[in-house]
Structure formats: C-alpha cells, structure tokens
C-alpha cells in the first residue's frame, strides 16, 4: 500500500510511519520541515495551504492520512494562537481535499484525525459517535477540522474521522506534564477530579488507525479512546501508584487557570465518551485498562 501522510514528521506521524514501514508499506510524508530525515520515508515539502509541488503524488496513493494540526499543548492560548490552531487544521485539510478533487486516479481511503473534545467539555450522558458536537471552543474547532476534508466523499473516497483522546506514550508531552507534580511528591487530582480524562495507549492509537485504514467497511467517525471510563482523580491516583509516589494534594482549578490560562481546560474539564463504533467494527484493544497501560509506558 502506498500512503501519503500530512503531518508525518510529528509525534503521531512517527509512530504511524514506523508501523507502516515495518510492514513494507511505502510512505510519503508532507512536511513544512522537509530537511527532517525520516528513515525509509520520502519527505516532501509543502506549505500546508496549497497543492504546489506535491499534488501530483495523490494520483499514486492508495491512502491519504491527515495528521496536520498545531498541538493544543502550545502555550499560551492567545487570540493569535487560537487562529493558528484553526488555520493549521483547516488549511491543510482543504489543500488535501483539493488535490484529490483535481486528480484522475483517487485514493481508496482518506483518514482524518480529530479530537474527542468534539462532544463538548460537559454532558450528563456518555458520548458516542452519534452525539452532536458541543458549542464550546474546542468542540467547534474539531467541527471545522473535520469539515475541511468532508468533500472527499463526493469523489467516492472512503472518509474516516478519528476523534482521538489523550495519547499515552513515553514521549507524550501531556503525560509528562501530568506526571511532573507526582514525581515531585505533590501529585493529586486536578480541579475537582470528577471530570473525565479520556486516554488511549499509543499502541491502540496506531492499531486502530491501521485497522480502520485496512477495513473496507470502515467509514465515518470513530472515537479513539480506551473503553475504560476514567476520571481525572482515578487517572492521577493510578499514575501516583505506578510512579510509587503519594497521592494527596488536589490542585484547584483556579490555580491551573492562573498558570495556564484557557489551556487549563485540557485537564480541568472533560466529558466521558466511549469507542462504540470501533468496538462494533471488531477492533480489539491491546491496552483496555489504565493500570496495565501505565505499567507498559513506565516499565523500568
């Protein structure tokens, strides 16, 4: 299989590329940093806005994967930064969709990454893929993100949207940020602790993406989230146990807001969700439980 990955030199891209190339698939990566070497991959320069210099490649591809988007962990969330969050998601999506529209041979599948915050930061029911989007900033950001590539369906391309949770890996920035106070013996729940903390092991993140790409029946939105509903307090307690540190000091939400501003919403707010369609499609999680996930990541 020939695969074109936009954003292929980022955090998630490197794991997906390693998985694909290990199985002898051919991979091209679109990157704003074309000099960044990636073993076994052809890195192609692009500006994230137009099809200039790479659009012709789409004609050769069996699959296109869009992982583009400035990390939400980029602090602080100024008005200008929020515009960059939007532009770095919408512009690449529109460019990829345009390339597909203007080619004579189209890929069989297009996979679009998105976020589990699509369902809003609050809600009484556990969200699944049929739950409508929320009206808060993060939810509406995912709506614009997904809409940018929806037009590929008009050209007979199977369109998949992966609404991903917090990805846990030994080099994941958010996990390191949450582990820091625990390592310093001041770990505890963030905010009330009752809010959801959606997560997925990097092995299942890549496993699910591969599963959906290769399953001709898969289309539409899928929640990439572990099947175990986890609150922030439960997550931090399990993290403290794994790192052999005490679990005691709660960090008030207002202090998190003072330190991180609006970015604090990533850890002080959250809605419970489930991977309903992914399970119905037949995917089997390798790491369905938090304790075994953390043990694997922090194995000593």
In angstroms, the CA 192 to CA 197 distance is 12
- At 37 the pLDDT is 63
Average pLDDT over residues 191-214: 97
Confidence band of 300 (pLDDT split at 50, 70, 90):
low
Q: What's the full length of the chain, in residues?
A: 300
What digits encode the pLDDT tens for the residues 13-70? 999 999 999 999 999 999 987 776 677 799 999 999 999 999 999 999 999 999 999 9
pLDDT digits (tens, 9 = 90+) for 222-258: 999 999 999 999 999 999 999 999 998 888 888 888 8
Separation CA 235–CA 143 (nearest Å): 28
132 neighbors 90 (Cβ within 8 angstroms) = no
Which of residues 51 and 9 earns the better pLDDT score?
51
Average pLDDT over residues 285-290: 98
CA 210 to chain centre: 14
Looking up tokens 């297009």, which residue turns up? Answer: 110
Structure tokens of 81?
């930064």
> Which residue is it, tokens 């988007």?
69
Q: Which whole-number Å values give the CA distances from 94 to 11, 68, 98, 100, 129, in the listed order?
A: 22, 11, 6, 10, 23
**Nearest-angstrom CA–CA distance, 169 and 162:** 18
Helix H segments across the chain?
11-22, 79-101, 137-147, 173-183, 202-214, 232-242, 253-260, 265-268, 276-281, 290-297
Work out the average pLDDT over 258-274.
90
d(CA 179, CA 194): 18
pTM recorded for the entire structure: 0.95
Structure tokens, 64: 């296109």
**Distance from C-alpha of 283 to C-alpha of 300, rounded to nearest angstrom:** 29
Asked whether 289 and 227 are in contact (CB, 8 A), the reply is no
Instruction: Please give the C-alpha separations between residue 208 and each of 63, 83, 190, 218, in angstroms, as whole numbers.
Output: 15, 30, 29, 11
State how far the alpha carbon of 149 is from the alpha carbons of 119, 154, 172, 216, in Å.
19, 10, 27, 19
Give the model's pLDDT for residue 212.
98
The 10 Å Cβ neighbour count of residue 243 is 15
Return the pLDDT at 142: 98
In the chain, domain spans:
2-165+199-224+273-285
Flag the least confident range among 18-27, 84-93, 184-193, 224-233: 184-193
For the record, the structure tokens of 155 come out as: 């050209």
Distance, in Å, from the CA atom of 50 to the CA atom of 218, rounded to the nearest integer, reads: 28
* Tokens of residue 21, six digits: 């190339």
Q: Does domain 2-165+199-224+273-285 have CATH number 3.40.50.460?
A: no
Q: Write down the residue that tokens 């505890």 correspond to.
A: 188
The answer to whether the CB of 188 falls within 8 A of the CB of 247 is: yes
Predicted confidence at residue 255, as pLDDT, reads: 85
Give the residue from 268, 283, 123 showing the smallest Cα distance to 201.
Answer: 283
* DSSP 8-state class, residue 82: H
Tokens of 61: 């591809």
Task: Give the Cα separation of 105 and 21 in Å (integer).
Answer: 23
**Percent of the chain at pLDDT above 90?**
83
């Amino acid at each position: 299989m020939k695969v074109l990955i936009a954003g292929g030199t980022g955090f998630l891209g490197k794991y997906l590329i390693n998985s694909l190339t290990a199985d002898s698939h051919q991979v091209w990566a679109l990157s704003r940093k074309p000099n960044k070497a990636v073993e076994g991959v052809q890195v192609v320069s692009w500006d994230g806005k137009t099809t200039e210099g790479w659009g012709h490649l789409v004609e050769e591809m069996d699959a296109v994967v869009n992982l583009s988007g400035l990390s939400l962990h980029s602090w602080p969330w100024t008005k200008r930064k929020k515009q960059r969050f939007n532009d770095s998601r919408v512009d690449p999506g529109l460019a990829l969709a345009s390339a597909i529209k203007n080619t004579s041979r189209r890929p069989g599948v297009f996979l679009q990454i998105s976020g589990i915050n699509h369902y809003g930061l609050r809600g009484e029911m556990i969200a699944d893929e049929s739950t409508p989007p929320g009206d808060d900033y993060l939810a509406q950001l995912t709506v614009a993100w997904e809409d940018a590539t929806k037009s590929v369906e008009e050209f007979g391309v199977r369109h998949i949207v992966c609404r991903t949770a917090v990805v846990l890996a030994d080099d994941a920035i958010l996990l390191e940020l949450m582990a820091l106070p625990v390592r310093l013996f001041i770990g505890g729940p963030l905010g009330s602790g009752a809010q959801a903390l959606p997560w997925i092991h990097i092995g299942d993140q890549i496993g699910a993406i591969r599963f959906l790409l290769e399953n001709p029946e898969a289309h539409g939105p899928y929640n990439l989230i572990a099947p175990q509903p986890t609150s922030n307090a439960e997550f931090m307690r399990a993290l403290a146990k794994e790192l052999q540190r005490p679990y005691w000091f709660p960090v008030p939400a207002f202090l998190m807001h003072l330190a991180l501003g609006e970015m604090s919403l990533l850890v002080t707010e959250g809605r419970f969700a489930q991977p309903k369609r992914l399970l119905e499609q037949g995917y089997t999680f390798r790491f369905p439980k938090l304790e075994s996930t953390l043990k694997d990541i922090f194995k000593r």
